Amino acid sequence: MSKNSQKLRRVDAPIFRYWHAFYMSFYSRRLYVDVSKRWRGFGLIYLFLILLIASIPPSIRIIMDFNQFFNEQVLSPLGELPPLYIQNGKVLFDKPIPYLIKNKQGKVVLMVDTMSTKADLPKLTRTYPDLNVLITKDAMYYRPPTPRFFFSLNTPMPSSSFYEQSFPNYENEVFVGQEIIKSASITRIKYMAELLIYFFVFAFFYSIYLVLMITLAFLGQVFAQVLLNVKIKYKESCRLFAIAATPQIVLFISLFTANFIFPNIGFFFLGLLAIYYYYAVMAVKSERNKMVIS
């Protein structure tokens, strides 16, 4: 009895594994039949794994842009800042004021002006739209610079409000930009930002494809039964959708990473997904017809 049950389990076991589907989803009818007949669940784990891998290239591209932005907009201006002496909460600065620091694009991003106050910020930001840091006699005003990634190069910088950091009356210290750049805290910030970028890219794509799978798998199930006369369960439809989406995911991620986005790209990829889902359903139908004939 145990031998028969072991043989039955071998027959029911999937022929192809997840890693086979990464490339066989482009062409193999046998894979789609195996997914329909022998795979279990809704295909969520496979969708999770394929997007976990597919999110790496765009994340690397965004991280490269972020590092360039961070170096040019944050580290480089800090490195050019002369030492600031703070005594009893007041800034002592021995350079002509206003002292302006520009980024590599020639735009003023940091200003030291002990004669200015918070009330001067609106006027200064109109004169210097990219100004991110203003150091006055007794406070520092800053706003986080807006990153411009490869997919939003022409996005204008929003007029976000400044944060205020007052210097306490008892504070006495020397503020040296080069020392801050070399500190371990800056390195930790960069590494944490890079990890967060990958996490958010993956979460963004997974949430989109999860919603698409829940919706389109049901529509595909209805389509298969009404137009193709193929009855498939909702779980099967979800699994077939996850595998059929693989070519579309690979192509979309490749174009997105290369920043090659063309008009009506969404309709193109929905059409590609529909073609592969149709291919999967027809493979299942053909296999069932063979079983009936035999």
Please check the confidence at residue 217 and state whether its pLDDT lies above 80: yes
How far is CA 143 from each of CA 30, 69, 127, 133, 220, rounded to the nearest angstrom? 57, 15, 16, 7, 48
Cα–Cα distance between 142 and 211 in angstroms, integer? 39
- 50 closest CA partner among 201, 179, 243, 225: 243
> Average pLDDT in the 259-278 region?
91
Residue 158, pLDDT score: 47
Residue 92, pLDDT score: 86
Q: Are 36 and 279 a contacting pair, CB within 8 Å?
A: no
Q: What is the pLDDT of residues 47-76, one digit of tens each?
A: 999 999 999 999 999 888 888 888 887 788
Q: pTM here? A: 0.76
Q: What is the pLDDT of residues 98-126, one digit of tens each?
A: 899 988 888 888 999 888 888 888 888 88
Burial (CB count within 10 angstroms: exposed 0-12, middle 13-18, buried 19+), residue 60 = middle
The β-bridge relationship of strands 133-135 and 90-92 is: unpaired
Share of the chain above pLDDT 70, in %: 89
Give the start-to-end residue ranges of the domains of the chain.
Answer: 22-81+177-294, 84-175
Residue 8, pLDDT score: 47
Residue 77, pLDDT score: 83
> Average pLDDT in the 237-254 region?
95
> Average pLDDT in the 125-150 region?
80
Give 122-126 contacts, CB < 8 A, sequence gap 24+. 125/159
Residue 104, pLDDT score: 82
State phi, psi for 57 to the nearest 5 degrees.
-60, -50
Please check the confidence at residue 80 and state whether its pLDDT lies above 50: yes
- pLDDT: which is higher, 278 or 116: 278
- pLDDT: which is higher, 247 or 263: 247
- pLDDT: which is higher, 241 or 266: 241
Please check the confidence at residue 282 and state whether its pLDDT lies above 80: yes
Cα–Cα distance between 277 and 283 in angstroms, integer? 10
Mapped onto helix, strand or coil, the DSSP state of residue 196 is helix
Please check the confidence at residue 1 and state whether its pLDDT lies above 70: no
